[in-house]
Amino acid sequence: MITITTPQGKQVEIVLERELCQPVDTGEHVRAYCHLHGSDHQRSLSINKMTGWGHCFNAACQATVLVAEWNRPVAQHLLHSYYQGLTSAALPSYQPPHLPSWHRSSVVQPLLLPLPKTIPAWQQEELHMLQALDEQMRWALAHSQRAQLYLHERGIPLTIAKTSGVGYVPPALLERPDMGKERELLHRWVDRLLFPLNSPFGRGYIGRSLWHWQSGMNEMIHKALLERPGSPKRWIKTNPAGWFGMEFEQLPDTIILVEGAFDRLTLVTAGLPAPQIVALVGTAVQVEWLPAQVKTVVLALDGDDGGKEASSRLADQLAQAGLRVQVCLLGKNNWGKDWNELWQHLGQQSLTPVFEALSETRSA
């Protein structure tokens, strides 16, 4: 167990799973005797399995705990900022002597707990089925003229989509004789491009519908078509969902946050380093998700009012968490509100603001 104090002055007890005293699984939560104040009459410690965060309900204790293995990214982030605070402030030569081995370890381990029970069974099943079909969905993308034409018209080369793990679910895939339950459960994923997502709770997918899309149909028209009553949703996600980008452990010290999956592919196509680019795909920024090695964030969100508002809100939130922030605004123009629309019309020059923002982070 390690007691740390967050920059906001809050005390958090970071504990290991094996330190929990006679834990019992109660579904969404695990209850345990509180080893912090030494109770053995009531299991006053309650920990949310999904987030790893817990609380002691004993009035005299009230401890806030985080089970490290259940939320590795947050535990690492907290520990890292804590020790960094100590080393850079009063104790320049201080070296943390007794960091537990899991802190130093860069080995990627899955969360020890299965998906929390709060996720409905059908969503768990849906996710497992999609994961099992991952390779076949990628193969399908590499062999579908329709999906490739769509990517091409959005200015994304097939090679970029392939190396980013994008897949496609053609109708024929679910009509195969070996597909049973999949046909029904994955029906809503048919004729979609799938982008793999990462979160501290595991991998997921977001899927973009190509329903009734035809060559030559631009994004605005297709969007309007999908917004008509009775049309499939433009985007759907698994539970858990997450961000479209590298696995958390592989993120470099400077990352670029964009809004959409196609924005990320656009930036990669333009020559920005893929590991640096993370698309939020509608998932809120949880600062705790950012692994400790991330120090600088370039915000390159959409140019509409929503994007601008999110940008300034996020900039504050990230700065408060001790990260360096560089805001890159997509200026007013006649071509579109996101990087992909701009890219389709203006090509390489549309990404100049992102390259500039990135080089400013290097020179600062």
- The residues that touch Zn ion, with contacts defined as CB under 5 A, are 34, 36-37, 56, 58, 61, 63
Backbone angles phi, psi at 28, to 5 degrees: -70, -30
> Residue 66 CB, nearest distance to Zn ion (Å)?
14
Element (H, E) at 79: helix 72-88
> Residue 34 CB, nearest distance to Zn ion (Å)?
3
Cα–Cα distances in angstroms (integers) from residue 331 to residues 108, 115, 304, in the given order: 39, 42, 9
> Residue 76 CB, nearest distance to Zn ion (Å)?
24
Smaller CB separation from Zn ion, 61 or 174 = 61
Smaller CB separation from Zn ion, 22 or 109 = 22
Smaller CB separation from Zn ion, 34 or 206 = 34
Q: Are 67 and 16 in contact (CB under 8 A)?
A: yes
Smaller CB separation from Zn ion, 36 or 294 = 36
Burial of 42: CB neighbours in 10 Å, binned 0-12, 13-18, 19+ = exposed
> Residue 57 CB, nearest distance to Zn ion (Å)?
8
Identify the DSSP state of 285.
Answer: P
Smaller CB separation from Zn ion, 54 or 260 = 54
> Residue 70 CB, nearest distance to Zn ion (Å)?
18
> Residue 19 CB, nearest distance to Zn ion (Å)?
13
Identify the DSSP state of 283.
Answer: P
* Residue 204 β-bridge partners: 197
Smaller CB separation from Zn ion, 22 or 159 = 22
Burial of 179: CB neighbours in 10 Å, binned 0-12, 13-18, 19+ = middle
Residues 6 or more apart whose CB falls under 8 angstroms from that of 361 comprise: 254, 296, 298, 324, 326
